[in-house]
Amino acid sequence: MPSPKQHSPRYTPAPRIAVHALGLRHGAPNPQQETASTMKIGLIGVGNIGIHFATRLLAAGHALVVHDSNPAAQQRLAAQGASIAPSARELASQVDTVLLCLPLPRIVAEVAAEVAQGSAVKTVVDLSTTGPSATHEIAALLGARGIALVGAPVSGGTVAAEKGTLAVMAAGPEATYQAVEPLLRVLGKNVFYLGADPSLGQTVKIINNTLYATSMVASCEALVYGVKAGLAPKTMLDVINVSSGRSFATLERIPQCVLDRSFPLRFTTELLHKDVKMCMDEAEKLGVPMQVNPAARQFLAFAISQGDGGKDNVYPIRHIEQWAGVQLGSSPA
């Protein structure tokens, strides 16, 4: 695999005119307006994040064919004007560009193999977190059928997906990337091109999620300690968030999800654990030692064993609170 040092990541912020062309107000798509150039595209996977991708693509004027294993998810989009394909293969026989938004590398590989049997598909864009090794295998599978792969995992969660403010980490043949870039800009605000190897975006994504997981677990431990020592949770966060200890966990996740004890589902514990484990495995393959990040993985694994796998990834703070005998925040009166 080419070293990431051989590629200079290219970040080009979304032009302001694109926001107006989409008719966006606070990130919400306006179905009354279209982009200057529209396409007929396919999207496989319209779950918690994919549903927002579909909604934004339809609002941007694109003709959309969708497929999902959940019939109810498909019907929600049919009501918005999407066409429904009975299978991934049939979808890939109707469009030349197929987007994937799927939960696990194994599922991505299975669906990609089915997509490869389609008669029309020329490009696959994988928006899932699939990992570098699986992406190489999928790229080879598709390449044997003359299909180009762009690995373009995203970061930001369901709220950013709805608003179109995701970070998109794209990699693949440059000409193919340029062809699908307008679609990626409908989905995300910060779009990066990382190089011709389609696994490079996947590498950045699992690094990002591992850093988030480690900082999140560390923040939960430290904040619970502060509460037990007598500090007010919000005041403590206010100090940290203008100081050097701040992170995405302290700036957004904990204030928005833990202080009021709401724990809304943004990204499950089991999916975050999957990404961290993937990062550990890939680092080991390259001979890169990791001493700190595995501790976060171990805590997430414990939380899954306690039934937290399907809950949001900050929900496991409750275990730290129980061990300490205190609670960070309280439910609204």
CATH number of the domain encompassing residue 244: 1.10.1040.10
Which pLDDT score is estimated for 10? 56
Which pLDDT score is estimated for 158? 87
CATH number at residue 17: 3.40.50.720
pLDDT surpasses 70 at 165? yes
- Domain of residue 16 covers 9-198
pLDDT single digits (tens) 206-225: 999 999 999 999 999 999 99
Distance CA 156, CA 257 (A): 15
Q: Considering the chain, what is the average pLDDT of its residues? A: 90
Mean pLDDT calculated for residue range 167-171: 98
Which pLDDT score is estimated for 159? 87
Mean pLDDT calculated for residue range 90-119: 97
Predicted confidence band of residue 157 (pLDDT cuts 50, 70, 90):
confident
Predicted confidence band of residue 18 (pLDDT cuts 50, 70, 90):
very low
Mean pLDDT calculated for residue range 269-277: 96
Which pLDDT score is estimated for 26? 32
Same domain, 166 and 259: no
pLDDT single digits (tens) 305-333: 999 999 999 999 999 999 999 999 987 76
Which pLDDT score is estimated for 11? 54
pLDDT surpasses 50 at 4? no
Distance CA 321, CA 141 (A): 47
Q: What percent of the chain has pLDDT over 70?
A: 89
pLDDT single digits (tens) 73-99: 999 999 999 999 999 999 999 999 999
Burial group, residue 203, by CB count within 10 angstroms (0-12, 13-18, 19+):
buried
Burial group, residue 166, by CB count within 10 angstroms (0-12, 13-18, 19+):
buried
**Which of 170, 198, 226 finishes a domain?**
198
pLDDT surpasses 80 at 37? no
Same domain, 55 and 194: yes
Same domain, 186 and 237: no
pLDDT surpasses 90 at 194? yes
Mean pLDDT calculated for residue range 180-203: 97
CB atoms under 10 Å from CB of 31, counted, come to 13
Same domain, 13 and 67: yes
Same domain, 99 and 156: yes
Sheet holding 148-151, edge to edge: 83-84, 63-67, 40-44, 97-100, 123-126, 148-151
- Asked if residue 65 belongs to a domain, the reply is yes
- Name, in order, each residue with C-beta under 8 angstroms of 159's C-beta and a sequence gap of 6 or more: 266
- Name, in order, each residue with C-beta under 8 angstroms of 20's C-beta and a sequence gap of 6 or more: none
Which pLDDT score is estimated for 6? 43
Mean pLDDT calculated for residue range 232-243: 98
- Asked if residue 70 belongs to a domain, the reply is yes
Q: How far is CA 6 from CA 1, 99, 194, 289, in A?
A: 11, 27, 10, 22
pTM for the whole structure? 0.84
Number of separate domains in the chain: 2
- Asked if residue 225 belongs to a domain, the reply is yes
**Which of 198, 215, 249 finishes a domain?**
198
- Asked if residue 330 belongs to a domain, the reply is no
Same domain, 214 and 189: no
Q: Residues 27, 14: contact at Cβ < 8 Å?
A: no
φ, ψ for residue 155, nearest 5 deg: -140, 145
pLDDT surpasses 50 at 127? yes
pLDDT surpasses 70 at 237? yes
pLDDT surpasses 90 at 65? yes
Return the HEC string of the chain.
CCCHHHCCCEECCCCHHHHHHCCCECCECCCCCCCCCCCEEEEECCCCCHHHHHHHHHHCCCEEEEECCCHHHHHHHHCCCCEECCCHHHHCCCCCEEEECCCCHHHHHHHHHHHCCCCCCCEEEECCCCCHHHHHHHHHHHHCCCCEEEECCEECHHHHHHHCCEEEEEECCHHHHHHHHHHHHHHEEEEEECCCCCCHHHHHHHHHHHHHHHHHHHHHHHHHHHHHCCCCHHHHHHHHCCCCCCCHHHHHHHHHHCCCCCCCCCCEHHHHHHHHHHHHHHHHHCCCCCCCHHHHHHHHHHHHHHHHCCCECCCCHHHHHHHHCCCCCCCCC
